Amino acid sequence: MSAAPKKTVAAKSVRAAKVESKGTVPASPSGARASVRTVPAALTNRDGGQSARAAEAPPGDIPQRVYLFGGGKADGNAKMKDTLGGKGANLAEMAAIGLPVPPGFTITTDQCAAYFTGGNQFPAGLIDDVAHGITFIEQSLGRTFGHGGKPLLVSIRSGAAASMPGMMDTVLNLGLNEETVKALIAETGNARFVYDSYRRFITMYGDVVMHAPRKAFEEEFEHLKKARGLKQDTDATADDLRGLCIKLASVYRAQTGQDFPQDPRVQLRAAIEAVFRSWNNPRANEYRRINRVVGLRGTAVNVQAMVFGNLDDDSGTGVGFTRDPSTGENTFYCDVLFKAQGEDVVAGIRTPLHLDALKQRQPKVHAELLGVRATLEKHYRDMQDIEFTIQSGRLFILQCRNGKRTARAALHIALDLVKEGLISREEALLKIDASSLNQLLHPTFDPAAKPKVLAEGVPASPGAAVGRVVFSSKQAEEHAMQGEKVILVRRETSADDIRGMALSEGFLTARGGRTSHAAVVARQLGKVCVSGCGALEIDEVHQFFALRGVIVRAGDVISLDGSTGKVMLGEVPRVKPTLGQDFATIMRWAEDVRTLKVRANADTPADAHKAREFGAQGIGLCRTEHMFFDERRINKMREMILAKDVIGRKKALAKLEPMQREDFLGLFTEMNGLPVTIRLLDPPLHEFLPLDPRTQEIVAEEIGVQVEEIQAAVARLHEANPMLGLRGVRLGLMFPEAYEMQTRAIVDAAHDAMERGVVALPEIMIPLIGHVEELKQMRNIVQGVVDQVNIARGKKLEITIGTMIEVPRAALTADRVAEQADFFSFGTNDLTQMTLGVSRDDAEGGFLTEYVVRGIYPIDPFATIDKDGVGRLMKMGVELGRQVKPKLKVGICGEHGGDPDSISLCLELGFDYVSCSPYRVPVARLAAAQAAIKAGKGTLFK
Amino acid sequence: MSAAPKKTVAAKSVRAAKVESKGTVPASPSGARASVRTVPAALTNRDGGQSARAAEAPPGDIPQRVYLFGGGKADGNAKMKDTLGGKGANLAEMAAIGLPVPPGFTITTDQCAAYFTGGNQFPAGLIDDVAHGITFIEQSLGRTFGHGGKPLLVSIRSGAAASMPGMMDTVLNLGLNEETVKALIAETGNARFVYDSYRRFITMYGDVVMHAPRKAFEEEFEHLKKARGLKQDTDATADDLRGLCIKLASVYRAQTGQDFPQDPRVQLRAAIEAVFRSWNNPRANEYRRINRVVGLRGTAVNVQAMVFGNLDDDSGTGVGFTRDPSTGENTFYCDVLFKAQGEDVVAGIRTPLHLDALKQRQPKVHAELLGVRATLEKHYRDMQDIEFTIQSGRLFILQCRNGKRTARAALHIALDLVKEGLISREEALLKIDASSLNQLLHPTFDPAAKPKVLAEGVPASPGAAVGRVVFSSKQAEEHAMQGEKVILVRRETSADDIRGMALSEGFLTARGGRTSHAAVVARQLGKVCVSGCGALEIDEVHQFFALRGVIVRAGDVISLDGSTGKVMLGEVPRVKPTLGQDFATIMRWAEDVRTLKVRANADTPADAHKAREFGAQGIGLCRTEHMFFDERRINKMREMILAKDVIGRKKALAKLEPMQREDFLGLFTEMNGLPVTIRLLDPPLHEFLPLDPRTQEIVAEEIGVQVEEIQAAVARLHEANPMLGLRGVRLGLMFPEAYEMQTRAIVDAAHDAMERGVVALPEIMIPLIGHVEELKQMRNIVQGVVDQVNIARGKKLEITIGTMIEVPRAALTADRVAEQADFFSFGTNDLTQMTLGVSRDDAEGGFLTEYVVRGIYPIDPFATIDKDGVGRLMKMGVELGRQVKPKLKVGICGEHGGDPDSISLCLELGFDYVSCSPYRVPVARLAAAQAAIKAGKGTLFK
């Protein structure tokens, strides 16, 4: 293979496949060998290393524009997806390992990029290279393009580095004109087949290349069928179709003002341009936006000799997976249609047959296909998704790629491949998409379902929820009383909605991102949440919402997919989660290589229990404030906030203290023997206050204050930028009595636990430190309370006191901060917000999403840590901290803690642990193992 | 002098002054030499270097607790203010250079700190060291403390490192008891004097040390005077006073439950503790909070032999400045009172006499005083503020310190000292407080005025404003029509208040800090602003505001001091600014040493003109959005925001373009030949929209839209944290047409200017860059417009394109950002907000102020750059940027650009220029010169 394709010069010195035609239309390229002077790319033997090209080529930086494949050789290989697209790279790979691939060439993605940057101009030099590519195909097959007795037809297919099924354009049967039609009829003796191909080509070319309305062409066929009383397309005779072709040529002229081009080189150039353009068509752009496909240069274009599955009764087409993509079972999962083309299978017009039908009708082809399956699996060492065509009893492979699979299948296949000796355990671990394990933990919507998708919002809390629409907490309660499932739909949620939220299956909000109130509460409660659905228009008065023109009323059923952000009409069927033995085996293997510890973010005993089940090695973040949002407690919290002085605050806090103590005792009991990191009160106080006047009145009455006092507190606590305001340790220093109460509850609970034989290992964490002096002063206060309780309880518990690193300044001065900290826990949510200057709630679904689409940020920095910016600060933080305390314990408790790429970064930076939501623990465990393998760390498989 | 006082051991090996009593009560220490075994500190000869102490002392880390002075020697010196306080350090210095200072000792500030950290306990070891100090004084003067024929009386005075006049406590005449009273009467023959001193002592001790109500003591004197028909205190006879002392002892017993202590060592210990405690009394804390006195350990305590200016007719007291503190004139500016004590001068009961009176009455003392003046000025090489006492014809100097002075005097004195050969030009430049130059540029309130201060807010825009209170823009207009000056008082201001603001002298707001709308507009318009005055309660309905219980109605006159934040009742008289020749000379000298360039932040030709007058070398920041807040333009801006699509936006922008072009032409013309850095649109768009319903209606009508559209836009543009939201380059990328219009206006204006013979040097600056990719994409757009205009105008102007570094990520990745930037300008306001995670508007006057008071941040990070955090990022930014572009031009345009300490940091980091508001330009020029001198940089005085 050419080692540096972009740096080599693609000219003049190419060996290519020699013609060895086997008779009829497009022949097998097998064994074809030819040397073509003018072909632009070098075909090297797979084992032959570099061609002589490098030595012969003039110096310069001209990129290779066109990569040839066919005849057991190829310029490219499977690793060159960025340059050749997925399809082109695998065509090259298959050709090189001797599989029966029709010969062809791939125009690189760079040429597509050059087409656009050059102002939609065909890039200089490309036309010559394409001509050379055609010559290569001609010589491979002994056919000629656009003339001669054995004319060559080609397909022109898009193929980007990432799969974008159906988004871009394809032109088939290119090369047909009045002359080649006649020659092909003479060659095949099948006029009907040839005219059918010609009428398809004119229609497709008019549509795709000239953007003429497809309907205008299709109507002609409809007229014909009506006039001739035909029921199906296939009833048309050769003469019918010949007449149709003449009419289509007229339609073409009428629509485009030009004659249908007879020069196949003109056809080819126009078709290539059309495929280039289709990269930027609106639906392709929309697809990339929704699927966050970014950083690609453009589409490659594959020009390949046509093969015909519809030529005769010995022809056919098929698609399949080399193993069952749903279960992972080791069976050839394949569908075949005889006398049909690939699109017929995909279109689902006829019911495809099982592979056994092929075995019966064409045992030789069947055996050959089994051979291909074995070759591909052995070569790619993975399950493959393939497309093939049989032309007059000859098998051609048109595509292969690693097959998509469910998480369940991924586990099973990986284990089987190890058993079969194809891969090692490490490779097996690396083959599984760690994030996909989520599927095993949450119920998911049945992939076979075809729901009506109303819109997509921010996928804020995973899972599959179905329920009746309600617009208020009160409605949620009413339905819940009757045992009905509901989905709460709100512009945004607040503390006042908590009760209704707890009774709902999921939440749909118009505003807010992954850190909005709704999202945080959802992940907290294990509810599904789709947030930031900007298109959502709620009319509470008339009790309906509108979404892209569809009206959904209170009581109507919708389905929410918290993993994709999809909002769907009606009840979409779901499948239950399963874990099973494969999961256990993979997790056991992961444990053998993992070095990074995995903890969970959990605030309640129930969360902690779940986390421990999933293998968490401690709690990395207990957010104490969530304990106060509880319906029975929030008013006490409000009393504290509304108190006029420290005495009033202490009085209100005294009511909360026994509850906090109970909370912590529960956590310690669940996590017996494992560390529990407890973050003291963090959010700004205004979050606890009701905003709407009615609730303010209710609350005022409940806690016995004037409603004006609540309003005054709301006004007083209002901040222009609350994220950068009075919260975290700032609250702790201004109102130390709250932190004192929490500390007392923690230490007392630890003593209570120890007295019951539970090993409690609390770690107190102080949030939002920016300056060491904050930590020093707060630490003094906290340590004072710890000492007091220890004295009162007559026993000394050593409790570590550490800090979040979430303000950039804390990372920049981590050497100083470390002097006062027993541990660091990176809060990468806030650290990202402040380092990037981006308010996540405002930006997600807004400019930040647009930024990711435009490739400004290669990936959402709130999903995966921004390594260059935030990662750099983290590196400084760890290094500076450990300069002062070489054994400083360092972890992460931001949401990135459950993201595989971020986990990999944490390993690289020398973290001790990551912490993530309970349901992400298995993902994190596998990802940590994968990172260890990639880093060459860890004790691999004793 | 002892070189490392804190590390030496203060015991056993001390030489001290020998007694050489001159007869009567406290005698001169001059010539006293003694060696006292038990005195705790080493007295070394000024020129004698280290005492033998270091060699004799046992090893260890015990700090020296007590520093002796007197008899031509001292343990300390003037540089030890942190340890000895200002008073103690200068007493030591004066003693060492042989001035007549009564002997004494200073207890260090560390002992005060230890007193508090030890739980208000007298620090271990201190009592012994104090005893040794007393022995030293006793031996110096040949007197004995608390007994004997010549009893020693001492004063106990506080003295911190920073001056806190009158805030802490003092005890005089300590050492008196029944026994010493008698001995002193015998010694002096002046029973009246002795009993008067005793009655003062008992009162002061009861008040200061025992916290008994002073009134209870004073009432006894009143009773006495009534009973005896006396008019003045001085009418009381010795017998009267003896009787009074007996009564006061009873009062003392009644109030404290104890007998008045007869043991002077008990008195002394209690008085020292009282002075320690006074460091933390509420008024001292309040003083430090208001004056931002931070980072101090505590107060030192000076125990010194008493001298008496009221002993006889040859006694007196005086205070003064060695030069005129108001004008700087070289005349001895001194007041004397005969037969009086220092407090009598300060209290202003009797009118003090001119120095000539002393010359007449005591020519020898007068000559001696002139000698002291000369010695002090020669020694300190600066104007001194002194206090002295004459006791029976002997002169004692009790205090000296660098005298406070007006900016005018500072310039004059510095120039005179150079002329007199006392200091170099460089030293002269260093002597002037650069920030004080502001006084010369703004009118100031008459320092002699004694206004009623209602409250203090955030000093947000300097100057002295007087006017009638108005509460709305409309009222401001009404008053302005009648030619009246007004002050606009609002909870906070918005774009809708602009017209009223332009017509007001100043603004007073309840909310917001130095970057609030009111503050920015004020600095912009050159108005005075006091913002964030939290105590301000506005009742718009009844048209008054309340401030700490005082009601001020609409139409009442108030005065605002924008330099101190003071809000004062009525019209406080003002003095006009003057520049003059001294200013010009100092500025010329500054130019000779300055290396850092100084530019101005200016948005209008008028600002630019002013900046150039003040010596700005270019504009470092032109905030283009301020041009849109103009009354005639804001509606066009609103049209742009409300437009439904890009066509509508372009239409609205087209109306603004000629205005922008005119703005820029004006700027270029003013700055002919100097660079003008123009920042493209930065603030979030919601800032341009009206929030209150009435204005929304008016605006809707004016621009012909439905009011609902405005409301919808307000809702759509609302952000939870707008500082981290859609603004800066994010706006530029989402709506490129705005930046395109601005760029076109800039480049066209530059061409227009060039055609008129003006050398225009625009530099386009792109704000809020976080990722190089943002800059790259935006730069492409801007460069495209530059090229277009150049082509259209037929001439190529090279225009540099640079970026703000204000998002932490930009500094962290400055090497990448520099690839796309022609220059960097650090926006340290936002950089500080994001690095520290502090929203300035929310935090100033809130937790941040509290943080500074508590010493968490040693200084307000928005006034002076936080060197450890933000400074570190700046360092990274400059270094990384210059790794890629070694000659990258780097500046600062945050408000720190006018702060001397921040300017010094910029020089250290290798900046090319600083930019600040026009009125800060002279300050910055001087500060830059000072920084260059301190750094040893710059070509000093050719």
Are residues B484 and B468 in contact, defined by beta-carbon separation less than 8 angstroms?
Answer: yes
Confidence of residue B345 (pLDDT cuts 50, 70, 90): low
Instruction: Flag the least confident range among A381-395, A601-615, B336-350, B798-812.
Output: B336-350
DSSP string, A442-454: S-EE-TT---EEE
| pLDDT given at position B42 | 43
**A721 and B774: CB-CB below 8 Å?**
no
Confidence of residue B721 (pLDDT cuts 50, 70, 90): very high
**B770 and A722: CB-CB below 8 Å?**
no
DSSP string, A363-392: HHHHHHHHHHHHHHHHHHSS-EEEEEEEET
Nearest-CA residue of chain A relative to B869?
A809
B105: left (phi over 0), alpha (psi -120 to 50) or beta: beta
pLDDT at B47 exceeding the cut of 70:
no
Chain A window 846-885: which residues touch B at a Cβ cutoff of 8 Å? 846-847, 850-851, 854-857, 866, 868-870, 872-873
- Most confident range (mean pLDDT) of A830-839, B681-690, B708-717 is A830-839
Average pLDDT score over chain A: 88
Identify the residue whose tokens are 């004995």.
B144
| pLDDT given at position A340 | 82
Are residues A305 and A152 in contact, defined by beta-carbon separation less than 8 angstroms?
Answer: yes
- Most confident range (mean pLDDT) of A440-444, A774-778, B540-544 is A774-778
A770 chain-B contacts, CB cut-off 8 A:
836-838, 869
Q: So what's the ipTM on this one?
A: 0.78
Confidence of residue B442 (pLDDT cuts 50, 70, 90): confident
pLDDT at B851 exceeding the cut of 60:
yes
Rounded to the nearest angstrom, the minimum Cα separation between A776 and chain B is 9
Q: Does A812 touch chain B (CB under 8 A)?
A: yes
The mean pLDDT value for A95-116 works out to 96
Instruction: Flag the least confident range among B525-534, B559-568, B670-679.
Output: B525-534
CA dihedral A281, A286, A289, A292 (to 10 degrees): -90
pLDDT at A53 exceeding the cut of 90:
no
The tokens of A881 are what? Answer: 């901290």
Q: What are phi and psi of B384, to 5 degrees?
A: -115, 150
Nearest-CA residue of chain A relative to B866?
A809
Which tens digit of pLDDT belongs to each residue from A531-547? 888 888 898 888 999 98
Rounded to the nearest angstrom, the minimum Cα separation between B869 and chain A is 5
Rounded to the nearest angstrom, the minimum Cα separation between B733 and chain A is 9
Chain B window 2-41: which residues touch A at a Cβ cutoff of 8 Å? none
Which tens digit of pLDDT belongs to each residue from A178-230? 999 999 999 999 999 999 999 999 999 999 999 999 999 999 999 999 999 98
Residue B232 neighbours by CB under 8 Å, 6+ apart = none
Rounded to the nearest angstrom, the minimum Cα separation between A780 and chain B is 12
Higher pLDDT, residue B743 or B547 = B743
Cα(A231)–Cα(A426) distance, rounded to whole angstroms? 58
Instruction: Flag the least confident range among A802-811, B189-198, B382-391, B429-438.
Output: B429-438
Instruction: Flag the least confident range among A608-612, A851-855, B101-105.
Output: A851-855
| pLDDT given at position B792 | 97
pLDDT at B788 exceeding the cut of 90:
yes
Q: Which residues of A666-682 are buried (b: 16+ CB within 10 A; e: fewer)?
A: bbbbbbeebbbbbbbbb
Cα(B472)–Cα(B325) distance, rounded to whole angstroms? 42
Pick from B719, B869, B873: which is nearest to A842 by CB? B719
Nearest-CA residue of chain A relative to B842?
A719
Question: One-letter amino acid identity for B542?
Answer: H
pLDDT at A99 exceeding the cut of 70:
yes
Chain A window 628-657: which residues touch B at a Cβ cutoff of 8 Å? none
Active site residues of B: 517, 893
Residue B54 neighbours by CB under 8 Å, 6+ apart = B8
HSE-CB of B647 using CA atoms within 13 angstroms: 0
- Coil, strand, or helix at residue A472? coil
Higher pLDDT, residue B11 or B194 = B194
Which tens digit of pLDDT belongs to each residue from B874-932? 999 999 999 999 999 999 998 899 999 999 999 999 999 999 999 899 999 999 999 99
Pick from B723, B807, B854: which is nearest to A721 by CB? B723
Share of chain B above pLDDT 70, in %: 90
pTM of the model: 0.79
pLDDT at B26 exceeding the cut of 70:
no
Confidence of residue A287 (pLDDT cuts 50, 70, 90): low
CA terminus-to-terminus distance, chain A: 37
| pLDDT given at position A21 | 37
Task: Please tell me which residue in A893, A896, A906, A916 is annotated as part of the active site.
Answer: A893
| pLDDT given at position B448 | 85
Q: What are phi and psi of B490, to 5 degrees?
A: -140, 155
Q: What stretches of A481-596 adopt beta strand conformation (E)?
A: 486-490, 506-509, 528-531, 537-539, 544-547, 550-553, 557-561, 566-569, 574-575
Strand A486-490 vs strand A619-623: parallel, antiparallel, or unpaired?
unpaired
pLDDT at A818 exceeding the cut of 80:
yes
Higher pLDDT, residue A585 or B463 = A585
DSSP string, A652-704: HHHHHHHHHHHHHHHHHHHTTTSEEEEE---S-GGGGS--SHHHHHHHHHHHT
**A839 and B721: CB-CB below 8 Å?**
yes
Residue A719: CB atoms within 10 Å: 18
**Most A CBs within 10 Å: which of B516, B517, B730, B862, as the mutation test of the A interface?**
B730
Are residues A826 and A767 in contact, defined by beta-carbon separation less than 8 angstroms?
Answer: no
Are residues B898 and B924 in contact, defined by beta-carbon separation less than 8 angstroms?
Answer: yes
| pLDDT given at position B842 | 83
Chain B window 372-391: which residues touch A at a Cβ cutoff of 8 Å? none
pLDDT at B836 exceeding the cut of 60:
yes
pLDDT at A342 exceeding the cut of 80:
no
Identify the residue whose tokens are 């986390």.
A611
| pLDDT given at position B10 | 37
Q: Which residues of A436-456 are buried (b: 16+ CB within 10 A; e: fewer)?
A: bbbbbbbebbeeeeebebbbb
* CA A8 vs CA A58, A70, A77, A127, B595: distances in Å: 9, 21, 16, 18, 52
pLDDT at A902 exceeding the cut of 80:
yes
For the question of residue A517 being annotated catalytic, the response is yes
Nearest-CA residue of chain B relative to A806?
B837
Residue B859: CB atoms within 10 Å: 17
pLDDT at A524 exceeding the cut of 60:
no
Confidence of residue B7 (pLDDT cuts 50, 70, 90): very low
| pLDDT given at position A741 | 97
pLDDT at B454 exceeding the cut of 60:
yes
The mean pLDDT value for A916-931 works out to 95
Rounded to the nearest angstrom, the minimum Cα separation between B406 and chain A is 36
Cα(B683)–Cα(A387) distance, rounded to whole angstroms? 55
| pLDDT given at position B36 | 31
A-B C-beta contacts closer than 8 Å: 175
| pLDDT given at position B524 | 55
